[in-house]
Structure 1
Amino acid sequence: MDSNFIKEMAYSFGADVCGISNIERFDDAPKGFHPLDVYAKTKSIIVFGKQFSTSLFETNTNVPYTFVKNKSVELLDNISIQLTISIESKGYKAIPIPSDEPYEYWDSQNRHGRGILSLKHLAQASGIGCIGKNTLLINKKYGNRLYLGAVLTDTELEADNLLDTLCPDNCTICLKACPQSALDGTTVNQKKCREKCASVTEGGGFVYSCNICRKVCPFSKI
């Protein structure tokens, strides 16, 4: 199959960005979280994203941000399913990767979870962007305002070029702004982060209550 054809399909299904990686780029993936651990015949990884607007950072409540995040996950999962069906109609195999939970790996003591694959690392390996000090993916056009989805396939596709880092070496805005001091410039302490980033309202509703590391980043505004 042709890589451009795959991308055109992803865009027609509603993706704002799309990139492709080959399996060779994941030699250093952690054991158990390699694309081959999910689907042993994987040869290419297709990653796509949906943007959200900068206006969400200007509200006095994170309810709209939560609403957009939840709906974006639905849209991305729909794209992955449609793309999977389209690839299979051409005689190849394809496996959709969920845009969000469930976690199969969960460290309850440290409240540390991992999806079956790290979408931001898939996206980085597919040339969509690079991972910043706040551990968020940064894209040249949409900054850190992308939610992601992916599909694994057994067809060989041309991989996109990797991007150089976009996060400036001397910038530590996100590290200083984190109210939990959960960032060290390389990883995030999920136990500290989860104490603040999500909450349940008195009425039982779930809200992403902290997005400061995303909001203060200069790449939230492009």
Structure 2
Amino acid sequence: MSEVNDIKSYLKSLGASKVGFADVHGLASEFIDLPNGISIVLKLPKEAMQLVKDEDYEAYWKCFHGQIDKLTEMSLKGEEFIKNQGYDAFALTMTRNECDMKKLLSILPYKTIATKSGLGWIGRSALFVTPEYGSAVALGAILTDMPLDFDQPITDSECDECTNCQEACPVDAINPQKWNDRLNRSDIIDIEACSEYIIGQYKAGLGCTKCMSECKLTLKYLENDSND
């Protein structure tokens, strides 16, 4: 399908680090009935992780939201690109996919589309993890009726026995149970303890990204001398 190759190449030309395709039929039916999902992964700059290490959260969040702005622009341009080919599309931007901060959950979680697209898995921390960048990533998505060649979903954790994120959690919210797509999120993380702490940190102008920055694969990404 030339359109599939075209949209993937187009999104990568805009700066996407990884792009994948998934069957999301029925998952977004409460607000839009489009059966196919395009997952967009954008790696976080290595400098952002250094800001976390330095506990310069003001600069970190400025950098992070800059990446979200890039994802929003990519998604909207991708939506327009698809519509110009005669299909329907809906860029799942942060504004359109509003997050409930108490539940730390979007209407349609980007992580769900990303795992179904085979781009990574859910770590012990409940963060999305990629083999290339660990959890130092931001996620976006586009829903569409464009025919797509779906990627192979990842349904089980590919973390080894590393417990870095669990040990780094300041409120012991991370359970020993590894993720698989048959579990509930509550099986792997105490989301109430996590959200209460995170909201408190945000109000104080701080943050909590220890589970992300201490991820074994995040550290490997940071140690890599190349730009990837």
Q: Which residue of 2 aligns with 1:22?
A: 23
Q: Which residue of 2 aligns with 1:98?
A: 93
Distance in 1 separating the partners of 2:4 and 2:72: 20
Distance in 1 separating the partners of 2:124 and 2:162: 9
CA RMSD for the aligned pairs? 2.2
2:57 paired with 1:65: no
2:139 paired with 1:131: no
Distance in 2 separating the partners of 1:171 and 1:50: 24
Q: 1:185-209, CA deviations, whole angstroms, 9 ceiling, x for partnerless residues? A: 44433332233333235xxxx44x2
Q: Which residue of 1 aligns with 2:78?
A: 83
Q: 1:1-21, CA deviations, whole angstroms, 9 ceiling, x for partnerless residues? A: 632111011112221110001
Distance in 2 separating the partners of 1:97 and 1:179: 32
Q: Which residue of 1 aligns with 2:8?
A: 7
2:28 paired with 1:35: yes
Specify every segment of 5 or more residues in structure 2 that has no aligned partner in the other structure, as ranges: 178-186, 222-228
1:102 corresponds to which letter in structure 2? E
Contact 1:124–1:130 (Cα < 8 Å) also in 2: yes
Q: Which residue of 2 aligns with 1:54?
A: 46
% identity of equivalent residues: 25
Contact 2:48–2:64 (Cα < 8 Å) also in 1: no
> How far has the Cα of 1:113 moved from its partner?
4.0
Contact 1:183–1:189 (Cα < 8 Å) also in 2: yes
Distance in 1 separating the partners of 2:114 and 2:212: 17
Q: Which has the higher strand share?
A: 1
DSSP-derived class of the 1:141 partner: coil
2:215 paired with 1:200: no
DSSP-derived class of the 1:38 partner: coil
> How far has the Cα of 1:22 moved from its partner?
1.8
Specify every segment of 5 or more residues in structure 1 that has no aligned partner in the other structure, as ranges: 27-33
Q: Normalising by the residue count of structure 1, what TM-score does the alignment of the two structures yield?
A: 0.81
Deviating 4+ runs (over 6 angstroms): none
